């Protein structure tokens, strides 16, 4: 695309010449010769996007409701607007001078009034007094608060994005009522605050939106072109940091899952801009546009459950009272509606199909109550169109390895898990948002059923934030925010794209606001099968002197709080305030709030469960200190079930099974004859078999040989197997995303032959047991599949893979390093290349992963090249020093030296970590570096 950008710049430098002489040769997005009203056409289209135009039926109930809401909001803003000459703000909830949010709130109030002024059917449409107030507000802000040269204070976002987004809308809506000077002054202010596209993720897309619409309002084609150029960097998939991942993850702020927060804003803004400029002289196109359509399927569609956006990907936004999960989905659904109009036909049809399903599953019409009239009209058109076929319920399993989330969508329910690791933070807390997010990233589980109000209707201000479902926690522990746990084990694998195994190693963070460190750790796994979710915990250990709890459930009840609760078939009290310690409990059943929302809980082998039925009161102000947040108290009723591991437990454990949508009788029958068998629940491995499906899930927690069920793994891994009479399928992943080498597996079955495999899988043996290895270097948590035949003619075993004659340094995968490396060409080196280790101090290291395909005792050798910068080094293998320290510096004539570093017993095939650590340097050596040619094992 470099040629395209160069062409754009030439157009901008000499617009008149370009329009006259080169229009026919410009790429699609270039400013072509156009009529003087091209900008006016764009603006008219944009105003229609905001208002719905003027050709709709104002008596349509849904349209009339939106008109009434738009009118009421504008009337309220107009009523509350300050008009005195000595005013220092325009609205009581929008302080100016210290709180930057006042900039955004002020312009949003003006936008609300401008929208009513331009909305067909509103009693305020064209109202002279309203117009006067709008213009007065614009002029006052431009003279006193938002102008060229104004110094920004507090949060940059309100100056560069929040305020400008709303101001652009106001100018577009009121364009014909504004003087040229008013338009120019307001656009100049936006240009001053937001001059260029420079950021990442959603912030970048907001920059694009602000500058593109400024260009439209200011009739500045160069601005539009420069803005749209900024989209290019958003479209490729990323491997780390902010952006979209190939597995469907979306990250913002480097290490937080934000598909439903910043990701919602990004796709909403992008879709609007693509739709707006489609068919114009600036219609956007890019080789990566296909990614945008794929994001809908991978990143957004799975996370919208019957119209509700799952909170586990919304970050701080769960603390925002205007955007609970039933409302938070609207920007994404609107984006999909916009894209359905401009996407290639197959995508467009699919998008309309999924939107129709969500709309049909929205009993309260939440979507139609919150979006622009333009989108209301299109949504209703989809609902009535027989050609648009509803997608139906989505049934699949998703492992979002890039953001430590897992999701099982089954008939009648959805189940999400929110985890964290040394890659993904536990929860974000900033700008006074998300004050009580303590354990939302600690394995919190979300069970979605037909009770679509479960996680809205004031769930977050009223739920006990110390007892979130699925978590293992220190009692009443306000855990620190913005923290990445030290463990890398968080992830899982799937089978058939329908069933999944997931897990995390939980390590408690310190107390928030203190330096008090905590020691609680736990190995936590979830096995998601056809109609049950098995939860296991092991290695639960703490020296904190605080009670440790695993929260099985914290379910919001009906308005009376009297949902029927039965324990082992016996009905319990339905009175609020009831609590009990339920000894030797096999199963529990909780009646749902609506049909299709009952939940059962089975405890294999029986256990003691603590239970509490309570009314809880809270307000949104407790969750966020942002201006305008409500302190209105809300009371909701909850049933909490938890397992008490005691104070400072050692190697504690738990096991329970969630049974969504089952009656009390069905739960009792399941407990009497469960479909699952727990094969192991230890700190080394957790394994469960689903007998009906003949599927087994296993999480291996250690880098050591370990057998669970039929599978032996030699390193940390997540595994699923599925066996039929004639086939065995295996799915594996590296949930740590740390392994730069191979995972080795053995399955205690005799395979006849190979049916299929991913390219990263190497078959080592079919008989008498199955052996294979998987290259997981840079796999980013991806699952790899292999399928074997168990019937038919026996295939011969592949020839054994020998230990390589040399491990060339420049080709070895690097597990980790403190500094860097450089490859050099050298005809005297083995393979004509050598690797420079750019270490700079004692303690610096470079660690390689060496694949050793055959166990045995080998002599270990390293060949190093002569260099005045070579330091003194120590080799370690899997963390154990190998041989003595050695000095890589010499002055004699030989160019290379072969160092004998003793013998090492490689007790199993696998990847071994060879770390070279700087121990010092010769006084004559210039630096601490090393020229490494190869390793050999003989």
Active site residues: 262
Token pair in block for residue 311? 């909170």
**Residue 882 and residue 914: Cα distance in Å, rounded?**
9
Residue 729 three-state SS:
strand
Stated length of the chain: 938
Could you tell me which of 902, 879, 891 has the C-alpha nearest to residue 924?
891
Largest separation between any pair of C-alpha atoms in the chain: 96
Token pair in block for residue 373? 């009239």
Are 269 and 12 spatial neighbours (Cβ–Cβ below 8 Å)?
A: no
- Angle at CA of residue 151, ends 146 and 152, nearest 5°: 80
Are 196 and 211 spatial neighbours (Cβ–Cβ below 8 Å)?
A: yes
**Residue 618 and residue 781: Cα distance in Å, rounded?**
39
Give helix 330-342 / helix 345-360 axis angle, nearest 10°. Answer: 150
Token pair in block for residue 126? 């064209």
DSSP-derived pairing of the beta strands 250-252 and 413-418: unpaired
Return the residue matching tokens 């669970």: 708
**Residue 405 and residue 597: Cα distance in Å, rounded?**
23
Are 218 and 43 spatial neighbours (Cβ–Cβ below 8 Å)?
A: no
Q: E-assigned strands of 231-320?
A: 243-244, 250-252, 256-257, 304-305, 308-309
Q: What are the phi and psi torsion angles at 655 (to 5°)?
A: -155, 130
Are 723 and 694 spatial neighbours (Cβ–Cβ below 8 Å)?
A: yes
Give me the DSSP letters along 634-689.
EEEEEEEEEEEEEES-SSEEEEEEEEET--HHHHHHHHHS-SEEEEEESSSEEEEE
Determine how many CB atoms are found less than 10 A away from the CB of residue 13. Answer: 10
* Residue 156 neighbours by CB under 8 Å, 6+ apart: 100
Give me the DSSP letters along 444-471.
EEEEE-S-TTTT-SSHHHHS-TTS-TT-
Token pair in block for residue 68? 């009434």
Q: What are the phi and psi torsion angles at 825 (to 5°)?
A: -80, 135
Residue 440 three-state SS:
coil
- Angle at CA of residue 322, ends 316 and 328, nearest 5°: 70
End-to-end CA distance of the chain: 51
Give me the DSSP letters along 801-827.
PPPPS-EEGGGSPEEEESSEEEEEE-T
SS (H, E, C) 889-929: CCCCCCCEEEEEEEEEEECCCEEEEEEEEEEECCCCCCCCE
Give me the DSSP letters along 517-584.
----EEEEEEEE-SS-EEEEEEEEE--SSSEEEEEEEEEE--TT----EEETTEEPP-STT-EEEEEE
Q: What are the phi and psi torsion angles at 161 (to 5°)?
A: -130, -65
Q: What are the phi and psi torsion angles at 722 (to 5°)?
A: -140, 125
């Amino acid at each position: 695309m470099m040629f395209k950008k160069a062409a754009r710049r030439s157009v901008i430098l000499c617009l008149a010449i370009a329009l006259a002489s080169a229009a026919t040769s410009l790429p699609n997005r270039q400013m072509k010769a156009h009529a003087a009203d091209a900008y006016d056409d764009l603006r008219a289209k944009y105003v229609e996007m905001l208002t719905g135009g003027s050709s709709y039926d104002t008596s349509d109930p849904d349209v009339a409701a939106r008109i009434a809401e738009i009118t009421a909001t504008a009337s309220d803003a107009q009523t509350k607007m300050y008009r005195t000459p000595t005013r220092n703000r325009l609205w009581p909830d929008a302080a100016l001078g210290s709180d930057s949010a006042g900039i955004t709130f002020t312009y949003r109030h003006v936008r609300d009034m401008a929208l009513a002024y331009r909305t067909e059917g509103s009693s305020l449409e064209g109202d002279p007094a309203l117009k006067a107030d709008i213009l007065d507000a614009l002029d006052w802000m431009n003279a006193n608060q938002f102008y060229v040269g104004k110094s920004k204070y507090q949060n940059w976002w309100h100056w560069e994005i929040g305020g400008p987004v709303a101001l652009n809308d106001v100018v577009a809506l009121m364009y014909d009522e504004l003087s040229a000077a008013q338009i120019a002054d307001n656009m100049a202010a936006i240009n001053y605050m937001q001059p260029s596209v420079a950021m990442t993720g959603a912030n970048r897309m907001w920059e694009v939106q602000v500058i593109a619409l400024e260009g439209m309002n200011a009739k500045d084609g160069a601005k539009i072109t420069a803005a749209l150029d900024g989209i290019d960097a958003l479209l490729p998939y990323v491997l780390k940091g902010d952006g979209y991942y190939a597995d469907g993850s979306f990250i913002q702020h480097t290490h937080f899952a934000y598909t439903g927060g910043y990701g919602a804003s990004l796709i909403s803004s992008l879709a609007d801009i693509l739709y707006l400029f489609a068919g114009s002289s600036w219609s956007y196109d890019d080789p990566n546009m296909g990614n945008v359509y794929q994001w809908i399927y991978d990143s957004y569609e799975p996370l919208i459950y019957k119209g509700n956006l799952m909170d586990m990907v919304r970050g701080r936004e769960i603390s925002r009272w205007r955007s609970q999960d039933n409302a938070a989905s609207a920007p994404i659904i609107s984006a999909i509606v916009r894209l359905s109009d401009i996407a290639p036909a197959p995508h467009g049809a699919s998008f309309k199909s999924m939107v129709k399903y969500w709309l049909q599953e929205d009993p309260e019409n939440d979507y139609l109550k919150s979006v622009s009239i333009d989108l209301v009209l299109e949504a209703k058109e989809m609902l009535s169109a027989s050609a648009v076929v509803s997608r139906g319920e989505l049934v699949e399993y998703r492992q979002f390895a890039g953001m430590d989330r897992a999701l099982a969508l089954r008939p009648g329910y959805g189940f999400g898990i929110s985890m964290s690791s040394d890659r993904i933070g536990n929860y974000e807390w900033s700008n006074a948002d998300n004050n009580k997010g303590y354990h939302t990233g600690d394995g919190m589980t979300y069970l979605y059923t037909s009770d679509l109000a479960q996680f809205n209707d004031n769930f977050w201000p009223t739920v006990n934030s110390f007892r979130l479902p699925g978590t293992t926690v220190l009692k009443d522990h306000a855990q620190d925010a913005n923290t990445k746990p030290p463990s890398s084990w968080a992830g899982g694998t799937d089978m058939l794209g329908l069933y999944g195994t997931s897990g995390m190693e939980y390590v408690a963070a310190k107390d928030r606001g203190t330096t008090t460190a905590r020691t609680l750790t736990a190995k936590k796994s979830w096995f998601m099968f056809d109609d049950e979710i098995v939860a296991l915990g092991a290695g639960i250990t703490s020296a904190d002197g605080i009670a440790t709890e695993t929260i099985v459930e914290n379910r919001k009840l009906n308005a009376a709080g009297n949902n029927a609760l039965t324990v082992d078939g016996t009905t319990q009290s339905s009175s609020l305030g009831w609590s009990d310690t339920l000894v030797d409990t096999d199963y529990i059943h909780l009646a749902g709030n609506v049909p299709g929302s009952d939940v059962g809980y089975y405890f294999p082998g029986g256990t003691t469960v603590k239970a509490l039925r309570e009314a809880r009161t809270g307000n949104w102000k407790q969750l966020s200190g942002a201006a305008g947040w409500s302190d209105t108290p809300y009371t909701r009723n909850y049933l909490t079930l938890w397992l008490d591991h005691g104070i400072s437990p050692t190697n504690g454990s738990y096991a329970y099974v969630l049974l969504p949508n089952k009656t009390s009788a069905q739960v009792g029958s399941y407990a009497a004859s469960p479909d699952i068998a727990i094969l192991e629940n230890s700190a080394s491995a957790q394994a469960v078999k689903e007998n009906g499906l003949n599927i087994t899930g296993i999480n291996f927690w250690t880098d050591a040989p370990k057998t669970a069920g039929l599978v032996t793994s030699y390193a940390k891994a997540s595994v699923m197997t599925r066996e039929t009479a004639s086939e065995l399928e295996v799915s594996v992943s590296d949930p740590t995303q740390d392994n730069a080498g191979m995972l080795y597996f053995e399955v205690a079955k005799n395979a006849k032959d190979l049916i299929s495999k991913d390219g990263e899988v190497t078959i080592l043996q079919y008989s008498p047991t199955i052996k294979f290895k998987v290259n997981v270097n840079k796999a980013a948590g991806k699952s790899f599949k292999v399928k074997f035949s168990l019937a038919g003619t026996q295939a011969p075993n592949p020839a054994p893979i020998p230990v390589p004659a040399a491990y060339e340094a420049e080709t070895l995968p690097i597990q980790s390093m403190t500094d860097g490396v450089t490859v050099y060409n050298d005809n005297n080196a083995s393979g004509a290349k050598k690797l420079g280790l750019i270490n700079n101090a004692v303690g610096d290291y470079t660690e390689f992963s060496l694949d050793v395909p055959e166990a045995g005792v080998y002599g270990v050798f390293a060949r190093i090249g002569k260099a005045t910068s070579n330091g003194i080094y120590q080799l370690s293998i899997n963390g154990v020093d190998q041989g003595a320290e050695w000095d890589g510096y010499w002055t004699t004539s030989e160019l290379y030296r072969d160092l004998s570093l003793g013998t090492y017993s490689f007790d199993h095939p696998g990847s071994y970590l060879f770390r070279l650590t700087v121990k010092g340097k010769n006084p004559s050596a210039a630096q601490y570096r090393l020229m490494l040619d190869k390793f050999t094992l003989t």
